[in-house]
Structure 1
């Protein structure tokens, strides 16, 4: 019997948990690839990477701290379930990015490969979280709020914010690393823009 894919179905708790684990793992792996070759991305993750390069403070600590103010918007505008899941996801990314170097030895990776594959991994991870009413915080929260309340595409909004962060990167990173980072950001945001549309996915949490 073919399931009715036109009728929205509510995600079960274990489905949300699985999606959150998969999504944060993909995002974290992308961040580790970026960190290995000194790339950056947009949103709070990109800002955390830039600050890591400047200060030497670990990405996980910076990423968790940067996201704290956004939980107020998450609770006020998106509700407690979304805020709690986002808090958990941010915590998981902070943890996974600190542990992946112990679990996986990336001794050599080409910067362009890291940019494109890392951007793709992060885009797929964020998409998985979006579809289960969660995010990795920061601009993701604001992007989801604008899409659900004003019809502004989350991917396109993030692309604009990411452009600002990547411009700042020109003052911190080598020129070629910024160019690679821009290519990765395009891959990340196009995945979200092309796949996170009203009616494209009918499940809900």
Structure 2
């Protein structure tokens, strides 16, 4: 129940902050490559913090945490596989440059998790 409560709180906070961010931050110009690299790095770091404190953001995150804890399948690699499968479908609807940036972003997010969230490393407990 603790995992579920933390996950609901995390999803709620992401929802609130996503809504409020446009009021707090504005960009006259944002280079797509810079946004991909920095944004994906921040997302990967944020997910790493959540995972280490036994919290997810729903869906694939929960399954990835479960598979890592119960079956030793690394969460970052699992999520990367799911993301790449989704992006394979996007091949038909996204412009090639946007698809490439999406693949790079997925790789940065999930490799951040795969490299840093390993069994036996720090797990915050509450």
| TM-score interval, normalised by the smaller of the two chains | over 0.9
Q: Write the distance in 2 (CA, Å) between the matches of 1:97 and 1:168.
A: 26
Which aligned segments of 4 or more residues in structure 1 are displaced greater than 3 angstroms? Answer: none
**What is the match of residue 84 of structure 2?**
163
For normalisation by structure 1, the TM-score amounts to 0.59
Asked whether 1:190 is paired with 2:108, we answer no
For normalisation by structure 2, the TM-score amounts to 0.94
Gap change, CA 1:194 and 1:109, over 3 Å in 2: same
Q: Write the distance in 2 (CA, Å) between the matches of 1:163 and 1:88.
A: 28
**Shift in Å, 1:202:** 4.8
Asked whether 1:140 is paired with 2:61, we answer yes
Q: Write the distance in 2 (CA, Å) between the matches of 1:97 and 1:175.
A: 27
Q: Write the distance in 1 (CA, Å) between the matches of 2:21 and 2:124.
A: 31
Instruction: Check the 8 A contact 2:54/2:123 in 1, yes or no.
Output: no
**What is the match of residue 110 of structure 1?**
31
Asked whether 1:85 is paired with 2:6, we answer yes
The structure with the larger Rg is 1
The one-character-per-residue Cα deviations of 1:127-166 (angstroms, maximum 9, x if unpaired) are 0001111111110000000111111100110011001111
**What is the match of residue 48 of structure 2?**
127
Paired positions, count:
126
**Partner SS, residue 58 of structure 2:** coil
RMSD: 1.2
Q: Write the distance in 2 (CA, Å) between the matches of 1:118 and 1:139.
A: 19
Q: Write the distance in 1 (CA, Å) between the matches of 2:123 and 2:89.
A: 38
Structure 1 residue runs without a partner (length 5+): 1-79
Structure 2 residue runs without a partner (length 5+): none
